[in-house]
Amino acid sequence: MNLISIAFLVFCAVTLITYFIIPKKFQWIVLLLSSIIFLFYNNLSIFTVVQALLVLIPSYFLGRKIEGNSNTKKGKRFLILGIIIIVGQLICYKYINIFIESANLICELLHSDRKFALIENSALIGISYYSLIMISYLIDIYRGTCKSQKNIFKCALFMSYFPILTSGPFIKYKDVENDLYGEHKFNYDRALKGFIRILWGVFKILVISQRLGMYVDVVYSKLTIFSGIYTILAVLAFPLQLYTNFSGSIDVIMGISEILGIKLPENFNLPFFSKTITEFWRRWHITLGVWLKDYIFYPLLKSDDMQELNKKCKKKFGKKVAKKIPLYASMLVMWIIIGVWHGGAYTYIIGSGILQFIFMVLEDLLAPVATKVNSKLGIKEDVFSYKLYQVIRTYLLFAFAMIFFRAESIEQALFIIAHCFVWNLNIMLDEEFYYVMPKIIGLDRYDVRVLIIALVVLFIVQLLARKGDVREKFLKQNIVFRWGVLYALMFAIIIFGCYGEGYDATAFIYREF
């Protein structure tokens, strides 16, 4: 049961109806039961219950212990124990293969014939999300920024709230406590706004992401056939596929929660208008970035070890350099963790981790140089043309890094990069491009036209979103216009949604993370 399926539609309908007709003091119980059903349905194993309880029970009892000993050595020991238990299970269930692959690589370098077999991923759906959520819960209790939940079943709801388990966003207990356990009346205006957001998310997934995905998947799976312009188009298309898939699923999640009366933090803020990679990651998967900054980056940067490193560097290299080294060291740790979190393979560590770190460091180091060069050459930095150049540059850098993210191995990623340079401009004018390749790819001229129009619609909505909430402006329009647009959007999904052989709308890219 996934976010785009008939089963999930029926599941949500039953949940919403039950949620609003039962006595309001029991509403949180409906959400808890729905979350348990969702988890079990997606895993179909008693091991589902065991795996979830092995995180819930220690987190609940240690949270109670930590609350009475916040900011003390005893509380810190309980906190460390809780983090070890949660991270230990996360590694065992999901990331153990990266250690096995590393051991195999070492054996290969040592010319040893020994090779360890990889272990099948047995992780519960959403484990990466609820594990980090519960770690932040324990840390916040230790810091004294929130109190522990006294009811273990309410604690279970916080950990397993079903909409966020597939794609996020990350939530903090203090931010959602009142909404999760509060009493909510059905509100028509709120439900309409939630419904609009769900429709928009489904449109992005079915009409845009799925079409882009068909092309990208074929190119990446038939690298011996495709090269040149086809490879470049696949490389450039994947960030858009990823964005429309991921942000579309977030729209569905946010819309469902909005109808329920539960406010979740935003996860995207127009990332493709970013002028630097640093800005891009402030706008992309926002809640993951906030989590890592709050619980990894800043604590590490302020740690005694980093302060000692700063002092040593200040003596050897001076004050200016000394500030940068601890900063970059903390950033490197954080970005490696981001890479590991995304999948625990070296391709993820490079694509969504190390390369992003390198880009950010280079931006920081080269920014003063670029300003001086632009000044001497008379290049204006506050004009549209220069800002457009920065936006395009940022997109290309992200697309390049995503080659590793999308590839099945480092060797395949390097192969794709090499094949980007083996191409012929005349191929775009060749009849083969329109008649032979579409049959292999699965996209004909009709699909291309639909995709272009849908991308234009997406771009226009994104432009409007720069000046405020689009839904708020939309709902202020005349009723005929409002419902005309909504029906047009619904029919666009029904008519132009990408269905057919090989189609799987439930295969969210971030589902396994």
Residues lower than pLDDT 70 in the chain: 1, 44-45, 121-123, 423-442, 499-513
The alpha carbon dihedral of 259, 261, 264, 270 has a sign of: positive
Cα–Cα distance, 512 to 287 (Å, whole number): 17
The two three-digit tokens of residue 59, written as one number: 């987190």
Quick count: other Cβ atoms within 10 Å of Cβ 317? 12
- The single-letter code of the amino acid at 505 is A
The two three-digit tokens of residue 214, written as one number: 């068909």
Cα–Cα distance, 348 to 336 (Å, whole number): 9
Q: With contact defined as beta carbons under 8 Å apart, do 332 and 319 qualify?
A: no
The two three-digit tokens of residue 281, written as one number: 């990651």
The two three-digit tokens of residue 25, written as one number: 């003091």
pLDDT of the residue at 392 = 97
Cα–Cα distance, 493 to 209 (Å, whole number): 12
Distances (CA, A) of 258 to 29, 261, 275, 287, 493: 18, 5, 31, 18, 21
pLDDT of the residue at 51 = 81
- Domain boundaries, given as residue ranges, for the chain: 6-186, 187-264+424-505
pLDDT of the residue at 471 = 93
- The model's pTM is 0.92
Cα–Cα distance, 454 to 38 (Å, whole number): 32
Backbone angles phi, psi at 504, to 5 degrees: -150, 90
- Residue 447's nearest CA partner among 238, 230, 208, 250 is 208
Distances (CA, A) of 281 to 94, 271, 458: 25, 8, 20
Backbone angles phi, psi at 480, to 5 degrees: -65, -45
pLDDT of the residue at 506 = 43
Distances (CA, A) of 182 to 21, 30, 60, 417: 15, 12, 20, 52
pLDDT of the residue at 509 = 57
Burial 179-208 (b: 16+ CB within 10 A, else e): bbbeebeeeeeebbbbebbbbbbbbbbbbb
Q: With contact defined as beta carbons under 8 Å apart, do 228 and 420 qualify?
A: yes
Give me the torsion for CA of 214, 217, 219, 221, rounded to 10°: -140
Quick count: other Cβ atoms within 10 Å of Cβ 255? 23
DSSP secondary structure letters along 439-505 = HHHS--HHHHHHHHHHHHHHHHHHHHHTTS-HHHHHHTS-HHHHHHHHHHHHHHHHHHS--STT--T
